[in-house]
Amino acid sequence: MLTILRRIVLEFSQASELDQALLHLVSQVKEALDTQCCSVYLADHQKQHFLLMASNGLSQNAFGRTSVGFTEGLVGLVGQREEPINIANAQQHPDFIHAPEVEEENFKAFLGTPIIHQRKVLGVLTVQQEQARVFSENEEAFLVTLSAQLATALVSVEAQGMIEHSTQHTGKYYQGIGGAPGVAIGEMIVVHPKADLSTVAVNRVSDLEQQLTIFNDAVERTFIEFSQMSEKLKKIISDSSLDIFDVYKQLLDSDNFKTEVITKINQGWNAQSALKIIVDGYVVKFEALDDEYLRERAYDIKDLGNRLLNNIQNLVAYDQQLPEQFILVANDVSATMLAEYQHQGLLGIVSLTGSNNSHVAILAKALNIPAVMGVDYLAIRQLHQKKAVLDGYAYKLYVAPGNALINEYRHILAAENELQAQVKEVEHLPALTKDGHSMSLLVNAGLSAGFEYSQNVGADGIGLYRTEIPFMNRSCFPSESEQTTLYRKVLASFSGKPVTMRTLDVGGDKSLPYFPIIEANPFLGWRGIRITLDHPEIFLVQIRAMLRANHGLGNLAIMLPMISSITEVDEAMRLINQAYYELSSELSPNERDIFVKPKIGVMIEVPSVIFQLEDLADKVDFFSVGSNDLTQYLLAVDRNNSRVASLYDFYHPAVLRALHYIAQKSQQRGVPLSICGELANEPTGALLLMVMGYKNLSMSAHSIAKVKWVIRHVEYTKLKQILTKVLCLTNTASVHSYMHEQLMALGLGDFVHARLQ
């Protein structure tokens, strides 16, 4: 059954025409379940009905014509209940509706399962039979499993289809699940797509000769590569593990494999589609085998397929001449990519992976580059050089939009600029509420390009300098003197103002090209202080560089990321002291007099330390809350995972109460407290934090004026009552709606909308 199921899903996702794919699907399901009718209905949410799209058993004349309201008939019932309905005699069911045009009079048994993607009912799959009987548990389980898998395939087939239709349907868009605010209008450039057959959208073409040449050349290149690889490795390895290259070469040479791909090309598929179809077919067959060894070979075939694909793609490589301005599209936009393209006309970013609080999204916000993240069903290769409108407020991507839509977005851009100009007027005024409560607004820095800009935005200092970014665009760790020069520049340009530098915080979704970390659960793994304590040589060099940079300036504070226990603080302190005394001993007595030891603080971002604030207060000089990670760890929601992005919310009552508790404890113990997560960028978040007792808010440079404007337009005492009420609310949605109401009442309507949050 598993093999049949996989084949059905595979063939469905490989189809280029939805109608044909659905027809093929219903025939396959009918055959697999040995029944007399299988039909598929797709939901039209605007019209609130299910449309019969294809059937093997019902009248063809009804396809595309017969619809059932969302609350009507058995199909409607399946959709409404969101569960399978399995009945022996459908016609006797009170919800049965007789629709003569479908010609189902003879069928009694009925089994229907909903097709659901991300909680949304996309359609209903049904099977029917003349004999009045309840379908077996196995049959029901098969249909449920198939529907669940079909949902994902359906979304991506629809997404591919949308590209061709998007010029007519300008209202259609791809929905991401996060991003960075702003609007970008321009040409899309797809970069460095990793050769991965699973992301290939199958396509037919007419230039078959060219496709055959591409495929044959790719086979030849891949063959040569394997020979070269095994030659090279033979010098190092002498065991049988190199036999795999011979297996690959044999497979490449085998008439079967090559001929099968060539046959597909001759049927009209382009080279990569033909390759995908054949490789996927092999993989399904191998994975279904009983023999474990042979089953494992499915992996080899996939690997071989991806290598071939890589060469096919290189042969049809895009002309990577960048236009003057462009929207960057990639499977997995990395921080390094952002850094690489930001000065080359980068207008916006589209990433299939990630979400609102991925580091790339945070960097994009800091650089003021609009982004849409987590559009995971996009067939990105088809987007290259197409025009798009990217809406980073609503996380939408419109492909090949019409002029009306472009004009609409030009207006949004203009309104946005106007509002920005308005808030900019307060940029250099103090962050003071109407009733005189004063706040300190600091910037989050560390981006090579954003840094110069940060100096003139009216900030009171740097609340978080992320040191990992300068470690990224390189081929090895920076030396002590390189780091000293860089840190000195930062400290000097904020001379007289506090600068909090965080020690290296890699791991999670930030990796260094020369220090790869491969883990199953990177956010729960080797990250932040855990790495640097395991590598004192890296930590000590960085601390020495910071201390040297601070010499004579004295505005440095050092902050430790990902602290989860007191032992880590003790160990880090020991190393910091060691670096300090080593450096002191290298100085002359006069110099030593002005060689100050900076304040040392910890980030509060792992829930365990919330319950050790008292203990920490005895050890460190300040706390800084990392609300991005604190939210992730409190709610057990991976901040980078698009599937659970809707669960990640700073306004979850548990997060707000934790933040409030931290503020109270710090106040009791007199420990200076700041916050440097993304929550402080949001007007709602900033106001709540202020009234909880946070005196120092650190945020992206672009948010300073906006947050200042909001602070200057409220009364602290009024907010106290709002906070009391918020802390009693029990779910996230009620916090949002209550805060929405309150901000409206405070006259901050412009900031309520997603556009300026």
Q: What is the side-by-side strand order in the sheet with 37-44? A: 67-69, 49-56, 37-44, 120-129, 109-117, 85-87
Which parts of 443-482 interact with ligand PEP (CB under 6 A)? 464, 466
- In the complex, minimum distance from the CB of residue 629 to ligand PEP, in angstroms, rounded to a whole number: 3
Q: Which two tokens stand for residue 223?
A: 């063959």
Which parts of 494-533 interact with Mg ion (CB under 5 A)? none
Element spanning 50, H or E: strand 49-56
- How far, in Å, CA of 749 to CA of 756, rounded? 10
Name which of 464 and 687 has its Cβ closer to Mg ion: 464
Phi and psi at 674, nearest 5°, equal -135, 175
- In the complex, minimum distance from the CB of residue 466 to ligand PEP, in angstroms, rounded to a whole number: 6
- In the complex, minimum distance from the CB of residue 560 to ligand PEP, in angstroms, rounded to a whole number: 12
- In the complex, minimum distance from the CB of residue 598 to ligand PEP, in angstroms, rounded to a whole number: 19
Which listed residue (49, 359, 652, 660) is catalytic? 359
Amino acid at 309: L
Among 310, 433, 503, 627, binds ligand PEP (CB under 6 A): 627
Which parts of 354-393 interact with ligand PEP (CB under 6 A)? 362
Element spanning 721, H or E: helix 716-726
Name which of 55 and 500 has its Cβ closer to ligand PEP: 500
Closest CA to 68 of 42, 39, 30: 42
Q: Does 628 bind ligand PEP (CB under 6 A)?
A: yes
DSSP assignment string, 118-167: TTEEEEEEEEEESS--PPPHHHHHHHHHHHHHHHHHHHHHHHHHHHHHTT
- How far, in Å, CA of 30 to CA of 32, rounded? 6
- In the complex, minimum distance from the CB of residue 479 to ligand PEP, in angstroms, rounded to a whole number: 24
Judged by beta carbon distances under 5 to 8 A according to partner kind, the member of ligand PEP, Mg ion, none in contact with residue 466 is: ligand PEP
Q: Which residues does 697 contact at the CB level (< 8 Å), separation at least 6?
A: 439, 440, 441, 442, 463, 674, 675, 680, 686, 689, 690, 707
CB under 6 A: which stretch of 4-12, 536-544, 623-631, 686-694 binds ligand PEP? 623-631
- In the complex, minimum distance from the CB of residue 375 to Mg ion, in angstroms, rounded to a whole number: 25
Judged by beta carbon distances under 5 to 8 A according to partner kind, the member of ligand PEP, Mg ion, none in contact with residue 627 is: ligand PEP
CB burial string 288-313: b at 16+ within 10 A, e below:
eeeeeeeeebbebbbebbbbbbbbbb
Q: Does 629 bind Mg ion (CB under 5 A)?
A: yes
Name which of 110 and 648 has its Cβ closer to Mg ion: 648
Judged by beta carbon distances under 5 to 8 A according to partner kind, the member of ligand PEP, Mg ion, none in contact with residue 677 is: ligand PEP
Judged by beta carbon distances under 5 to 8 A according to partner kind, the member of Mg ion, ligand PEP, none in contact with residue 702 is: none
Among 112, 176, 374, 626, binds Mg ion (CB under 5 A): 626
Which parts of 586-625 interact with Mg ion (CB under 5 A)? 605
- How far, in Å, CA of 254 to CA of 500, rounded? 62
Name which of 62 and 557 has its Cβ closer to ligand PEP: 557
Contact between residue 434 and residue 715 where contact means Cβ atoms under 8 Å apart: yes
Q: Does 677 bind ligand PEP (CB under 6 A)?
A: yes
Q: Does 682 bind ligand PEP (CB under 6 A)?
A: no
Contact between residue 346 and residue 326 where contact means Cβ atoms under 8 Å apart: yes
Judged by beta carbon distances under 5 to 8 A according to partner kind, the member of ligand PEP, Mg ion, none in contact with residue 671 is: none
- In the complex, minimum distance from the CB of residue 664 to ligand PEP, in angstroms, rounded to a whole number: 20
Would the CA dihedral through 634, 636, 639, 643 be positive or negative? negative
- In the complex, minimum distance from the CB of residue 507 to Mg ion, in angstroms, rounded to a whole number: 10
* Site size with Mg ion, rule: CB under 5 A: 3
CB under 6 A: which stretch of 41-49, 256-264, 621-629, 709-717 binds ligand PEP? 621-629
Name which of 629 and 682 has its Cβ closer to Mg ion: 629
DSSP assignment string, 668-703: HHT--EEE-SGGGGSHHHHHHHHHHT--EEEE-GGG
Q: Does 170 bind ligand PEP (CB under 6 A)?
A: no
Q: Which two tokens stand for residue 481?
A: 């003197």
- How far, in Å, CA of 466 to CA of 471, rounded? 10
Among 104, 287, 629, 682, binds ligand PEP (CB under 6 A): 629
Looking at the DSSP bridge assignments, the partners of residue 388 are 186, 399
Which listed residue (117, 652, 660, 676) is catalytic? 676
- Is 476 known to be catalytic? no
Neighbours of 687 (CB within 10 A): 25
* Site size with ligand PEP, rule: CB under 6 A: 11
Name which of 86 and 698 has its Cβ closer to ligand PEP: 698
Judged by beta carbon distances under 5 to 8 A according to partner kind, the member of Mg ion, ligand PEP, none in contact with residue 129 is: none
Please compute Rg for the chain using Cα positions.
30
- How far, in Å, CA of 716 to CA of 730, rounded? 24
Name which of 627 and 703 has its Cβ closer to ligand PEP: 627
CB under 6 A: which stretch of 5-13, 80-88, 323-331, 624-632 binds ligand PEP? 624-632
- How far, in Å, CA of 320 to CA of 497, rounded? 44
Q: What is the DSSP letter of 104?
A: -
- How far, in Å, CA of 183 to CA of 412, rounded? 8
- How far, in Å, CA of 630 to CA of 577, rounded? 28
- In the complex, minimum distance from the CB of residue 682 to ligand PEP, in angstroms, rounded to a whole number: 13
- In the complex, minimum distance from the CB of residue 308 to ligand PEP, in angstroms, rounded to a whole number: 39
Name which of 309 and 699 has its Cβ closer to Mg ion: 699
Judged by beta carbon distances under 5 to 8 A according to partner kind, the member of Mg ion, ligand PEP, none in contact with residue 35 is: none
Name which of 309 and 464 has its Cβ closer to ligand PEP: 464
Angle between helices 243-253 and 255-266 (to 10 degrees): 40
Which parts of 637-676 interact with ligand PEP (CB under 6 A)? 676
Name which of 391 and 605 has its Cβ closer to ligand PEP: 605
Q: Which two tokens stand for residue 366?
A: 């800091």
Would the CA dihedral through 259, 262, 266, 272 be positive or negative? positive
Among 104, 605, 638, 682, binds ligand PEP (CB under 6 A): 605
Name which of 542 and 628 has its Cβ closer to ligand PEP: 628
Name which of 351 and 627 has its Cβ closer to ligand PEP: 627
- In the complex, minimum distance from the CB of residue 472 to ligand PEP, in angstroms, rounded to a whole number: 13
Q: Which two tokens stand for residue 289?
A: 């085998």
- How far, in Å, CA of 402 to CA of 329, rounded? 20
- In the complex, minimum distance from the CB of residue 23 to ligand PEP, in angstroms, rounded to a whole number: 49
Among 626, 648, 710, 719, binds ligand PEP (CB under 6 A): 626
Q: Which two tokens stand for residue 304?
A: 């071989």
Q: State the residues that interact with ligand PEP by CB under 6 A.
A: 362, 464, 466, 505, 605, 626-629, 676-677
Q: Which residues bind Mg ion (CB under 5 A)?
A: 605, 626, 629
- Mind telling me the catalytic residues? 359, 676
